[in-house]
Chain A
Amino acid sequence: MQVLSYSGSQLVDLCSALLLLTCFAIVAQRRLSACVDLFALQSAFLVVTAALVAYLTGNQHIYIAAVLTGVIKVIIIPRVLKKVIDRLNVKRELVMYVNVPAGLLICGGLVMLAFFISEPIIPLGFLLTRDSLAIALAIVLIGFFTMIARQKAVTQLVGFLVLENGLFLGATAATYGMPLIVELGVFFDVLIATLIAGIYTNRLQDAFDSVDTNRLTVLKE
């Protein structure tokens, strides 16, 4: 049993680390559609992590959350985003507020910050998923950074979804999943938010002939 929980903990850590790795890949990627693919890959890792936690702990309701993640974040949302990108006339991030190497360095700093913040509270957690909370916080921060550093509406949206993945990893790993009703609600909200943002991107394209959010400067002090 001791051996199982030890290797199980290693596996969960490995999966969480893969999630973090895909974050870096997203920050380094300039092509919009590749960003979406990477997000789908990250969500797939999330499904594996959740299923692993569900199997190792015997919490049945995490399976439901894992299946929902698979359907919504691996299949539906990437499809919606791909459709949105097809309508756009620019498929790449041309100008970035922060270039790729600097962005990666900042993300490295964010990971250290996340481990520093969560250090005092990690010992409280379950043995199995102890380090995942810090990784989850790191993913949240990197998602945040992506939203700030990119100017295309689609990449900002991907940043938001990465942030949401981090939150979900935190909820699964740190607490073995939130009560089911809450998780269902969160999934619903994320799905609707993505659909709305997709519709918005189309309207922005029509009204401004661009989805550069730095063109949104009509309103200011």
Chain B
Amino acid sequence: MIEVAALVAAPLFAGGLSLVVHRSALLHAINLTSMAILVTAEIMITSAVLKDGPFTALEQLVYLDALSTFILFIIGAVGLACSFYMRSYMDEQVARGIVAPTRLNMFFFLFHMFLLAMVVATIVNSVGVQWVAIEATTLATTFLIAFWRRRESLEAGWKYLILCSVGISLALFGVVLLYYSSLHALSDVGQGLNVTQLLIVADRLNPHVLKLAFIFILVGYGTKVGLVPMHSWLPDAYTEAPAPVVAMLAGVLEVVSVYAILRMRVIVDHAVSFAFTGGLLALFGFASLVTAAFFILIQHNYKRLFAYSSIEHMGIAMIGFGVGGALGTFGGLFHLLNHAFAKSMAFFAAGNIHRRFHTVEIGQVQGVATAQPWTAMALMISGLALSALPPFSSFASEVQVATALASQGVPEMWFTNTEGMVTIALSDQFGRLAVTAVFLMSAILAFGGLMYRITGMVWGTPPEGILREETWTVGHLPVILLAGALVVFSVFLPPPIRQLLEQATTLLVIQ
């Protein structure tokens, strides 16, 4: 159980230490040490879960299974990459006077609290405590988003705080309803919100209450995922926040929020039906995918471009979970991983470009290949991966989702006109074809929009007065590792990750 304690203690102590330390080198050292402890603990937990199956720890407070371990893996990988990137990024921000040296420790404190809240949200057994932790991520990141303290960043931060707090309050109502339904089925109500207990009695819970609870929870946590139509805070926050923070928001926070929805989904599936939750997830998925694909086409700000691409990919993952079955669920989970890697890489590149060109306008950025060859490479690779082209693993996961969609269609979705004459069910042959066509068309639109903008930035000659060389920093290391992982994962998934994914899929699919 020491590894579980280390998981929570590492960011907690690192955060506390950051408050009293002021030297930049020491702050980075604390950060890297805590990340190393976190990753070590994760490796130990992974091997324990793979060997002995799910376990609870600390008097039922903590529940770890393949799904939560898989999410922990994403948190650790992206968190470590961010820590290396921050080494070069934050120091330069201080050196250029954008961030006062005295505020650096505040940045690290909030970063650690953010990490802590996400770890707690992932490992905790009670869905109530999970809600508390997810709301805590909102609170920790609000000041991180507004860290530059410009008018735009204050605006983005306020929007984020209000929208996410309200959204997540709706999720709390969902949690209350879930508890309400469990009171009649459980003898020990003190455990009434624990996933382990709820799963045992899930088929005796009241389906009507659970349906309502799931809708509230999907809308609530969906706000944090950035699903359309609750997404309006997301592009603003992603544009204004410092690059490492965005990488964490896009790479990890979205995944943790999806995880919270999935946990609830398993319980509701037992009591109601798989088709009910699947239909809702797919509905939000399609709304996000189609809307984001069109918005990608009209962007002239590269950070917003990547933000909308995040919405698109979360939509794809949601469609995967909605369609369900082994293939769809596996594809959805795998897509979460690929998107986390590709998107954090994209925002690292965006951060580098912003530091050099001092603008977020795509039209004013040209010739990145000449000015910053490494960054251009990272931008190109992340762009290709985000467009889901081979040989990147996002291609594999997107094809899995598309195949599942084509073979199963969207469950419990049908449209009837007023006289009841025409009925289109999205799971019959015609419906399957139609939804798959919509899916592929949106993916192609997004691909076109993304690659058109990115190639425009990479090629050409840089404007006058832009430095044309890129020195190697430690911040380049994570980019190379992430790119390597994206390529390698498409042909070879390391056995522990494959096993985690397969076991998590079995947890989510109900026979």
Residues of A within 8 A of B (CB): 117, 120-121, 124-125, 133, 137, 140, 144, 147, 153, 156, 160, 163-164, 167, 170-171, 174-175, 178-179, 181-182, 185-186, 188-189, 192-193, 196-197, 200, 203-204, 207-208, 213, 216, 218-219, 221
List the A side residues contacting B146 at CB < 8 Å.
Answer: 200, 203
Contact call B173/A167, Cβ cutoff below 8 A: yes
Q: Does B23 contact A (CB under 8 A)?
A: no
Instruction: Pick the residue among A147, A179, A200 that contacts B158 (CB under 8 A).
Output: A200
B residues 105-153 with Cβ under 8 Å of A? 126, 128-129, 131-133, 135-136, 138-139, 142-143, 146, 149-152
Instruction: Pick the residue among B136, B154, B181 that contacts A207 (CB under 8 A).
Output: B154
- Known contacts A179-B193, A182-B126; decide if A147 and B179 are in contact (CB<8 Å): no
B residues 164-178 with Cβ under 8 Å of A? 165-166, 169-170, 172-173, 175-177
Contact call B158/A125, Cβ cutoff below 8 A: no
List the B side residues contacting A196 at CB < 8 Å.
Answer: 139, 142-143, 161
Q: List 5 A-B contacts (CB under 8 A).
A: A124-B206, A174-B176, A196-B139, A200-B154, A204-B154
Instruction: Pick the residue among A121, A137, A140, A193 that contacts B161 (CB under 8 A).
Output: A193
Interface membership of chain B positions 327-346, coded 1 if the CB is closer than 8 angstroms to chain A and 0 otherwise: 00000000000000000000
Complex Cα spacing A120 to B149, Å = 49
List the B side residues contacting A117 at CB < 8 Å.
Answer: 212
Identity of the chain B residue whose Cβ is nearest the Cβ of A192 in the assembled complex: B139
Contact call A216/B128, Cβ cutoff below 8 A: no
Contact call B155/A178, Cβ cutoff below 8 A: no
Contact call A185/B128, Cβ cutoff below 8 A: yes
Is chain A's interface secondary structure helix, strand, loop, or mixed overall?
helix
Residue with the greatest number of chain B CB neighbours at <10 A, chosen from A163, A170, A178? A178
- Known contacts A121-B206, A121-B208, A219-B236; decide if A171 and B176 are in contact (CB<8 Å): yes
List the A side residues contacting B131 at CB < 8 Å.
Answer: 182, 185-186
Contact call B136/A216, Cβ cutoff below 8 A: no
Contact call B161/A200, Cβ cutoff below 8 A: yes
Q: Does B162 contact A (CB under 8 A)?
A: yes
- Known contacts A125-B180, A164-B169, A175-B176; decide if A189 and B132 are in contact (CB<8 Å): yes
Q: Does B355 contact A (CB under 8 A)?
A: no
Q: Does B190 contact A (CB under 8 A)?
A: yes
Residue with the greatest number of chain A CB neighbours at <10 A, chosen from B138, B162, B190, B240? B162
CB-CB nearest 10 A-B residue pairs: A185-B132, A182-B128, A216-B155, A219-B236, A189-B135, A171-B176, A207-B151, A174-B180, A218-B152, A175-B179
Is chain B's interface secondary structure helix, strand, loop, or mixed overall?
helix
List the A side residues contacting B183 at CB < 8 Å.
Answer: 175
List the B side residues contacting A192 at CB < 8 Å.
Answer: 136, 139
Complex Cα spacing A192 to B132, Å = 12
Q: Does B239 contact A (CB under 8 A)?
A: yes
Instruction: Pick the residue among A125, A140, A153, A179 that contacts B173 (CB under 8 A).
Output: A140
Q: Does B156 contact A (CB under 8 A)?
A: yes
Q: Does B425 contact A (CB under 8 A)?
A: no
Q: Does B184 contact A (CB under 8 A)?
A: yes
List the A side residues contacting B193 at CB < 8 Å.
Answer: 178-179, 182
Contact call B166/A124, Cβ cutoff below 8 A: no
Q: Count how many chain B residues have C-beta atoms less than 8 Å from C-beta atoms of the other chain.
A: 54
Identity of the chain B residue whose Cβ is nearest the Cβ of A188 in the assembled complex: B132
- Known contacts A178-B176, A196-B161; decide if A185 and B129 are in contact (CB<8 Å): yes
Complex Cα spacing A17 to B196, Å = 37
- Known contacts A189-B132, A200-B157, A207-B151; decide if A178 and B166 are in contact (CB<8 Å): no
Least CB distance, A122 to chain B, in whole angstroms: 10
Contact call A193/B165, Cβ cutoff below 8 A: yes
Complex Cα spacing A137 to B172, Å = 12
Contact call B169/A124, Cβ cutoff below 8 A: no
Complex Cα spacing A9 to B156, Å = 45
Complex Cα spacing A203 to B147, Å = 12
Complex Cα spacing A167 to B208, Å = 19
Contact call A170/B132, Cβ cutoff below 8 A: no
B residues 325-384 with Cβ under 8 Å of A? none
- Known contacts A121-B206, A185-B129, A196-B142; decide if A170 and B166 are in contact (CB<8 Å): no
List the B side residues contacting A193 at CB < 8 Å.
Answer: 135, 138-139, 161, 165
B residues 223-255 with Cβ under 8 Å of A? 235-236, 239-240
Contact call A160/B172, Cβ cutoff below 8 A: no
Contact call A204/B158, Cβ cutoff below 8 A: yes
Instruction: Pick the residue among A178, A188, A213, A218 that contacts B128 (CB under 8 A).
Output: A178
Complex Cα spacing A164 to B184, Å = 25
Least CB distance, B360 to chain A, in whole angstroms: 11
